[in-house]
Each structure stands twice: as structure tokens, then as C-alpha cells.
Chain A
Amino acid sequence: MTTIFAKLALCAAVAGALCSMVSASAKETATAHKPDPAAMEALAKMSAYMQTVKQFVLDVDSTTDQIMVDGKTAQLVQLSHTTKLTVNRPDHLKADISGGAPGSSRHAYFDGKHFTLYTEPGKYYATVPAPATIKELISDLGDKYGIELPLSDIFTLGANPDDMKRVLSAAYLGDETINGATCSHYAYHEKSVDWQLWVQKGDKPLPCKLNIVTLSDKERPQYTAIYRWNLNPEIGNGAFAFSAPENAREIKIVQVKDTQ
């Protein structure tokens, strides 16, 4: 409060012209970072290229912060996971996620007709009818079950103009070497998230790395994923079909609307 009064007093004391100059320059700073068109174009270019890659296996090492509350203190703790995403566009997908305690894993199967969730420990699974494409599956899972498709960014980043409109600023920061590849480093700011994307240079603009900072919590938890692409995978015929392991037990998935 004192500081504010001091500033006001200073303003009053100094010539009016000078004061308006100061506020004008402050305003300029606040609005200076319009999204860099090149950084926005990089998203679109990456998305367009990825849609031409019909089959791939993507190995991802990720870390995800959780906010641990112990009494009155909060602390970020980091979880590590590996994800293997096997895709045959537009209607086959499998995700195998492991991390946390030994023996703990989550799996998603989609074959263009059904979506199956299988988790260990416990060996539970649930199968629900699914729409015909991965794109439709993403919104269907969210709307009906509150489930996000794992690594959905691979399919959505740069693909939807409405999503791009949320970007308040975007910048190209230079190039970095990630896993031996040269990748262009971009930073994007939205109201509720800051995110950074590294895109491989050259004629295969694949994402090398992604970082997301959640701004809606004051602890600002982060998620970081590093991608390793295989664009020439050997995917077996049965890769996307779920067959229940021995002693697995079928249960239901609660629909979002049932509980709200």
C-alpha cells in the first residue's frame, strides 16, 4: 500500500507527460508478445505432417507433478511413467502405460468399435462401445467417462483452429538437441497453461518433447514428455485386440452424467 502511495506521489510530482510516457511503455510491454506467426505455423505444419504418418509406435518417458499436501504445506512430487502408444490411423490405437509402484499399469485398446480399459494390479477391465475414429474417441471418452485419451496431444496439437485461438503468446526460442535430433524450441502461453514444444527440424516435423505448466494451481505443477518415434513399426495383426488375461475381471466404467 505504501509503495502505491509513494508511486502516486512520485507521479504527481513529476511532469504529467513523463507519467503518461511511463504508463504507455508499460502497456506496450504488456501487449508486446503477440503470437509469433512462425511459432503458430510450426504447430500447423507438425500436425499436417503427423496426419500423414498412418502407422507408428511412440515411446514416451514422462514426468508428472502431483501436489502433495501435508498439513498446511504443499509440495510438488514427481511421478515417472513410460507409455508405448501403438497407432494405425484412423481407427486403431493401443496405449500401455507403466509407472509408479512395480506391477502397476494401465492399458487402453481401441479397434474402431470398442474401447477397453485394463488395469493392474487387480486385473480389472471394462469394454464400452466406441465411435469409429481416434479423433471421435477423444471427445467421446471425455464426455461420457471423464477419461482423457493418453497422449492426446499427439492427435490434437495444431489440429484444431479453436484450440489455437487460446494461445495468447507464442515464440521461437532457438534449436536444441534432444536424443540426438535437432529440434526447434517453441514457447506458448495460454490463460491456464504455459507449454513448450520441441519440433524436429527437417522434413519430418515430429514433436521431440513437450512441457506443460498448469497455471490454475499456485504450485504450478508440470508435465514433461520426451518422445521417441518409430515410423516403420511392425505391428502384428492382433495388436489392437484386447483379450482378457486369465483371472481378469470385467467391471463397468461410471458414466460422468451418472455422478453429477
Chain B
Amino acid sequence: MNLKNFSSTACAALLLATIASTASAFQVRGGAQTSVNSGAWQSAHETNVATRQANRTTREGNRQDTVQQVSSNRTNAATNISNNRMNAAQNISDNHGCCYNNGGWYNDHPVATAAAVTTTVVATAAIVGSIVHTLPPSCSAISVNGVTYQQCGSTWYQPQYSGTSVQYVVVNAPH
């Protein structure tokens, strides 16, 4: 590998790592219905499954894996991922709060997860009231007056279930 290739690869890897820390490579638009009779109930709770971009079920701890997977891709991937990221930002507004797919038990694929923000774009995730599906690294769980928080640097998150998936609401520091 010559120097030029190396530097562009390294650059892409760096870029990918940076992006991957805020949004993973793939988006999921939804999935199979997992019970026959949820259909009637489902249609009452959501419309337009086909065009709605998926909610992002999230699990902690797969970010590192994602970075490694993504880093092993090459420069081309950077463009794709940037596109995905833009798509994710555009689709964020379609994913308010609780929705049907969060209520499922079988929709938790590591590749399919993404750090999504429901109310703001990724770069300003720390605004109080915004919701993220994965925490930044180095957080500690703290209980204050019986309420569970995650403190990540100066930002405090309150975890909650949306359906069966954990999400984190940015909150003011508890007193």
C-alpha cells in the first residue's frame, strides 16, 4: 500500500469512525409483523408502514462493533454512510416517540440499530428533552431520589422504555 492510498484509507477510517459514533451505517425501515392479529391494532396506531422510516431500536455496546465493521469498508462506504446520515437526519422527524415497532420483541439487530435523535439533529443531541437511542461512551448510572439517570460528562440522560426498547431523554442535572 503506498502512502497516498494509506492516507486516504486512514482518512476514510477516521471519517467513518467519527460518523459511526453518531449514526451507524444502516437504517431499518421496519420489519415483519410478528403476530397475525396485531394487524388491526397496528393499523389503528400507525399509518403508512411502507414509507415510514424505521424506528431505531437500540442496544448499548454495539457501537464498537459498528465502528470496526464500518472501518473495514473502503472509501466508497464513506459516501454511502454520509448519505445515510443525511437520510437519518431527514427521517428523524418521522420517528417521534413510541411507535409500533418499538413494541416488538424481535427487532433488535446490531446492524439494524442506529443512534437516532427524535427531536434535533445529531450534532445538538444534548438539548434537554431530546431523545437518543444510544449513550455516548463513559457514562455512569446514578440513582437520585429513586430515579435512574445516566451521567455522561456534563450531560444527564434519563433512560425510559419506549415499547420494549430503552431510549434516553436528555434532562437537566438532578438536584
> Which residues in A have some Cβ–Cβ distance to B below 8 Å?
62, 64-71, 74, 77, 79, 81, 83, 95, 97, 99-101, 103-104, 106, 117, 119, 121-122, 124, 126, 139, 141-142, 145-148, 150-153, 156-157, 160, 163, 166, 188, 190, 192-193, 195, 210, 212-214, 216-219, 221-223, 249-254, 256, 258-260
Contacts and interface: CB of A to CB of B under 8 A. Distances in A.
11 contacts: A67-B31, A81-B105, A100-B59, A106-B108, A121-B61, A124-B159, A148-B38, A166-B40, A214-B49, A217-B50, A259-B97
Chain B contact patch, size range: 35 or more
B26 A124 contact: no
Given A166-B40, A212-B35, A260-B97, A68 B111 contact: yes
Contacts of B41: 139, 142
B162 interface: yes
Contacts, number: 209
Contacts of A256: 45, 98
Given A251-B148, A259-B96, A216 B50 contact: yes
A212 B29 contact: no
B105 A148 contact: yes
B36 to A, nearest CB: 5
B161 A190 contact: no
Contact of B35 (A74, A126, A139, A153): A153
A66 B30 contact: yes
B110 interface: yes
A58 to B, nearest CB: 14
B112 A77 contact: yes
B96 to A, nearest CB: 6
